[in-house]
Amino acid sequence: MTFLNNNEIDTFNKQGYLIVEDVLDPEAVLDPLINEYKMVLDFLANDLYDKGLISSKYKDDNFSERLTKICEESGKIHAQYFDFSLPQNGIKIDTPMWHGPAVFNVLSSPSILDVVEDIIGPEIYSNPIQHVRLKPPENRTPVHAGTKTVQLGATPWHQDNGVANADADETNMLTVWIPIWDAAERDGCLHVVPESHIEGLKTHCPQSILKDARGGFGLHIPDKLFRVNDAIPIPMKRGSILLLNKMTCHGSLPNKSNRIRWSLDLRYNPIGEPTGRDTFPGFVARSKKNPSSELHDPVAWAESWIKARQNLSIGEEQSYNRWDSSDPSCA
């Protein structure tokens, strides 16, 4: 099924990004995800309460306020608890993660795949570089003790190609960014630099002060390396999706609202092309050539991640960072 028209495809190819409205039915696709994550938050609250790390489970609060209070009192964001990927280092046999059926249903949504097919073709692989982002209001977000920077704040400038290993440099990787709730500027929506995708891969600088809540070290493109003043915000409504070229410079604004900013960032590439993180499991989401290869079982998807976690917890630590902080561009 064709979802995008020629003008939309031309706009994406020229600008490096495209907002596509009304792709997802919020009640059918996003509300089940919200309900599933309410259960995950129950698990987290019970775990922290039983360990004496919070004094209340905050059951009477809505999801956003409950998560924010739990983060405030415990002093941690607990991002990995909700994520459906693994961290880049320090993986243990019990590293928390979540791979529920509602998440799988979003990744394999026919509506999303129809849009993706219009960009990369009908042989679609769900790339495992993927995350859920639950960002509390920055004025209530716990900080790192040493640097006093927020544990999960505005995302630094980067290109998605820059956070994948070099083996994926020729992969036709497409990012699909999905707001679970409306994402206005005040909420910390994304901002992008139009046409930056045609300017090549920029140097990304590792910085310990950008250490994220999953234990990895944040990467950022120094402002001097790209047209930062040309950046524009991308406010979005739930049900819409944002397509990003893997070379488009983008980041997120700080969350200055009074509720969490909740989003998914998913990636897809043609089947058989390197994912940039080959120790993490992806799956065939759509194949016109070989429909029987498609994965439609959320339990099998979850089990593939459990197996990967087990293997990575006992194996040699992998490297998912090609960048060197001693590069002159990082000075």
Q: Where are the domains of the chain?
A: 6-330
pLDDT of the residue at 105:
98
Could you read off the pLDDT of 258-280 as tens digits, one per residue?
A: 999 999 999 999 999 999 999 99
Partnered with residue 238 across adjacent β-strands are 240
Give yes or no for residue 101 having a pLDDT over 50.
Answer: yes
Write the CATH number of the domain with boundaries 6-330.
2.60.120.620
**Mean local confidence (pLDDT), 290-299:** 98
User: What confidence category does residue 317 fall into, taking pLDDT thresholds of 50, 70 and 90?
Assistant: confident
Separation of alpha carbons 17 and 234, rounded Å: 10
Per-residue confidence (pLDDT) for residue 234, from 0 to 100? 98
Q: Which pLDDT band holds residue 1 (cuts at 50, 70, 90)?
A: low
Alpha carbon distances (Å) from 141 to 31, 69, 71, 106:
25, 9, 7, 28
Of the pLDDT bands very low, low, confident and very high (cuts 50, 70, 90), residue 217 is very low
The answer to whether the pTM exceeds 0.75 is yes
**Mean pLDDT on 146-152:** 82
**Residue 125 and residue 113 in contact, taking contact as beta carbons nearer than 8 Å:** no
Interatomic CA distance for residues 255 and 270, integer angstroms: 34
Average pLDDT, the chain: 94
Looking at residues 276-286, what average pLDDT do you find?
Answer: 97
Report whether 140 contacts 258 (CB < 8 A).
Answer: no
User: How confident is residue 34, by pLDDT bands cut at 50, 70 and 90?
Assistant: very high
